[in-house]
Amino acid sequence: ARCMIDIVLEGAGRNALSTVVLSSLKEALAAAGDRPVLLRGAGGCFSAGLNLKEVASLDQPGMERFLSLLEETVEALYMHPAPVVALVEGHAIAGGAVLALCCDWRVSASDEKARLGLNEVALGLQFPPKIWGIVNVRLPSTARERVLLGAGLHSPAEALALGLVDEVTAEPEARARAVLATLAGHPRQAYAATKRAMRAATVALSEEARVAFVAEVVPRWVSDEVRARMLAVLKR
């Protein structure tokens, strides 16, 4: 298998997705070129989601920039031309769970204290359009409503049953590396072409959707109600 690289999510608040963390992930993916990637979090946690401290402080133009960076980073991960395996240790919540869903295979540690889920609806948040497309395609249709409308956080065993991860094991790193090596053993051109064919339409955004994003989604994220919910979460 060709040279595989580790990309590590690392930041304050359990690797919360700030502008800095997202930018460094985007740069690392660009630098990876067409090499296989193992995506993991630092310090025994994958990512607890967006950095709400930063997000709650943004004005409308700042929020538009932030959500655009989030979408670009998520798209780069989802469309990476080589295999990508997520090693999920600890929490993968909201934006963290989205990053895991973008990966080709997701291996979770069997840590009963860990929580995984997409709780955006509980925070009053609307998914940006590209992220909505990915989440909608990657979650099994049987679990989609429970995961998205229930907006709950689940143990790894429940996350497995709901299709948020592909397997749960006591030896997640060894298993994740083994899966990545297997996927990386396939002819790279066929892998890249098939992945692109399967996924490109999901992130292709109509002009209409882009306009709606700026007109509807961004204002929602900067609304007083949503800001109050974010600040309440931070106080917990």
Confidence (pTM): 0.97
Segment 184-205, tens digit of pLDDT:
999 999 999 999 999 999 999 8
Whether residue 1 is predicted with pLDDT greater than 60 in this model: the reply is no
Residue 141: strand pairing partners: none
Q: Residue 145 has which token pair? A: 């409503």
Q: Are 150 and 116 in contact (CB under 8 A)?
A: no
Report pLDDT for 122: 94
Nearest to 86 by CA among 96, 76, 71: 96
Q: Are 61 and 189 in contact (CB under 8 A)?
A: no
Report pLDDT for 149: 98
Segment 10-30, tens digit of pLDDT:
999 999 999 999 999 999 999
To 10 degrees, what angle do helices 129-138 and 188-203 make? 120
Hunting for tokens 């998914």 — which residue is that?
Answer: 127
Helix, strand, coil shares of the chain, percent, nearest 5, are: 60, 15, 30
C-alpha to C-alpha distance for 44 and 32, rounded to whole angstroms: 23
Amino acid at residue number 114? A
Segment 86-114, tens digit of pLDDT:
999 999 999 999 999 999 999 999 999 99
Contacts of 61 (CB under 8 A, 6+ apart): none
